[in-house]
Every structure is written in structure tokens, then in C-alpha cells.
Amino acid sequence: MRLPSWLAQHLAALRALLVFTVLLGIAYPLAMVGVGRIPGLSDRTDGSLVTVGETTVGSRLIGQAFTDADGNPDPRYFQSRPSAAGDGYDPTATSASNLGPESIVDTLADNPDDASQSLLTQVCARSAAIGTLEGVDGRRPYCTADGVGAVLAVFHRDGLTGPVTRVVSVNQTGTPFLATYEGVPVQPAKTGEDYRAMGGVITPIRGDAPAKPAVPADAVTASASGLDPHISPAYAELQVPRIARERGLSPDKVRALIKDNTDDRALGFLGEPGVNVLELNLALDGK
């Protein structure tokens, strides 16, 4: 007896559903679990957790903060790359800040929950803080001395042209980083004002910072995931004098530990070398 074509099509679809459910919903996951139990792979499939004694201190794959009881960077340890994942290094909220090169104007508000920093100000603040921590010049182009974006809203008589009539330091409500611009006194910003919408030309000011900042880029920018466990060799090298001083070690000894905990390029040519911060700090502790 020949089945109606519509019924035959439905039965064929049902058979395909059952076959693929068994293959992809049961057999494939079980096979992957089995592969994950192979010696040499089981540690990675469990999250590459690092255990000291009976205590899990972190993962080789997920960055973390190394701070003291007050939440400040612990000077005895190498510091990780900044994180924009949740409140920092949160695996359940992995993400980037979603801010780009044009994010240079802060949102100023009386309510801290309504205020937000531009990417430029975040970079400036981090660079200034790292400069203080490491005892180096933390200045960067387009940053003020107090660590915010050096950005002006410049108002012209004829809109985009003509003599300057008003200048506002858009990221500062206190004393502006410049006293005058083209002979016009620079005013502090007022919260809630949108100077771009008011006709101001947003103008970054480079300042006199060195062309090549002492603080590397990965020290002041978060990775796309916010969970990067590595820092660049350059950022690790920047921290050597502090670590050597705090630990009572020679700089050469600290550099040897950095070398031992540096991962080379993937397959020898992909990406850049990176220093695993957790493993490096454990090596400093002799663990």
C-alpha cells in the first residue's frame, strides 16, 4: 500500500529528526566528553584551573585582579590587563566596553549612575595611575595632567568658521587644563550640557606628552572578552623595577621568571607573545 505523498514526507522528516537528534544531541556530546577525558586534555576541558594545595586560585585562561584588602593594586604582584567584563574579569558577563576611537567626550551628571567616562578618559586615567604605581611618565597625547581627555568644545562666530567666541573644556567641571585657547578664556563644563548639540566643534588637544608613551597600550585598554589572562612582554617589563623592589629580588631574576611564563605566538606566527599573569605571580610566590 502506497502512503499519500504528504504523509510520506512527514514520516521522512520525522526519521531525519530522530537520526540527527541521536547523532548531534546524544552521540556527539558524549563523544566530546570522552575526548575531554583523554589524559593531557582533561585539565583544559575542566577550565585549566590552577590549584595550590587544596585551594583553587584561578584559571590559566581567565584574567583576574591582584589587589590588596582596600581594592588597590597589590605592589607585590604583576598587574593584569584592564577588564570591562561586569565589575572586572567576570566570566558571566564577558564583554568589551563597546567604545571606539571617537569616544572622547564624557557624560557628566550630578548622579554618578548617570555619568560615564569616554574611552579617552578611561585610557588617560589608567595611564596616569600606572605611571604613579610604576614611577614612570604616565602622560599620553590628548590627556590632561589629572587623567581625563583633553578635549575642548570650540564655538565660532559663524558656526564652523570665523573667530572663536567661546571655549569649554568638556570633560572638566573644575579648573580647565588650558587657561586660554586662541586668546579666549577656557570655561569648565557644566553637568547636563551637550556642547556638541549647542554647536561647539569638539577639538582634542594633543599636549606635550611624548609620542611614544611609557605605558604600553595593553595596560590601558581592555580586551574584547574582558578576560584576557595575558599581558604583553612590554607591560611585564614596565613592572620589573617595582616587583624587584617589593620582593627583594634582582631585576634579572624577575626577568627570568617573565621569560619562563611567556607564551609564544600560536603555531609560531599567529598573534603576539603573551605573559600569563597568574602563572607568573605564582612563580613569584614559589608556588
**Phi-psi category of residue 214: left, alpha or beta, with phi > 0 → left and psi -120 to 50 → alpha:** alpha
Block residue for cell numbers 582596600: 70
Block residue for cell numbers 585657547: 181
Higher pLDDT, 9 or 122: 122
Look at residue 3 in the predicted model and tell me its pLDDT. 73
Look at residue 270 in the predicted model and tell me its pLDDT. 84
Look at residue 202 in the predicted model and tell me its pLDDT. 97
Look at residue 139 in the predicted model and tell me its pLDDT. 96
Contact present, 62 and 230 (Cβ < 8 Å): no
CA angle 278, 279, 284 (to 5 degrees): 95
> Residue 262 is which amino acid?
T
Task: List, in order, residues 6 or more apart from 3 with CB less than 8 Å away.
Answer: 11
Helical residues (DSSP H) of the chain, grouped into ranges? 5-20, 28-36, 42-45, 119-134, 233-247, 251-260, 277-284
User: What are the phi and psi torsion angles at 274 (to 5°)?
Assistant: -140, 150
Confidence of residue 5 (pLDDT cuts 50, 70, 90): confident
Query: What percentage of the chain reaches a pLDDT higher than 90?
Result: 70
3-state class (DSSP) for residue 175 = coil
Task: List, in order, residues 6 or more apart from 238 with CB less than 8 Å away.
Answer: 130, 134, 136, 214, 215, 216, 219
For the segment 19-48, what is each residue's pLDDT rounded down to a tens digit?
999 999 999 988 888 777 777 665 565 567
Contact present, 140 and 104 (Cβ < 8 Å): no
Look at residue 35 in the predicted model and tell me its pLDDT. 78
Q: Out of 8-12, 120-124, 189-193, which region has the weakest mean confidence (pLDDT)?
A: 8-12
Look at residue 50 in the predicted model and tell me its pLDDT. 80
Q: Out of 12-16, 134-138, 179-183, which region has the weakest mean confidence (pLDDT)?
A: 12-16
Contact present, 141 and 124 (Cβ < 8 Å): no
3-state class (DSSP) for residue 64 = coil
Residue 56 in this model has a pLDDT that exceeds 90 = no
Look at residue 41 in the predicted model and tell me its pLDDT. 62
Q: Give me the chain's average pLDDT, please.
A: 91
Confidence of residue 183 (pLDDT cuts 50, 70, 90): very high
DSSP string, 132-174: HHHTS----TTB-TTSSB-EEEEEETTBSSSSEEEEEETT-SS
Look at residue 42 in the predicted model and tell me its pLDDT. 59
Task: List, in order, residues 6 or more apart from 148 with CB less than 8 Å away.
Answer: 106, 121, 124, 125, 171, 172
Block residue for cell numbers 572622547: 104
Confidence of residue 269 (pLDDT cuts 50, 70, 90): confident
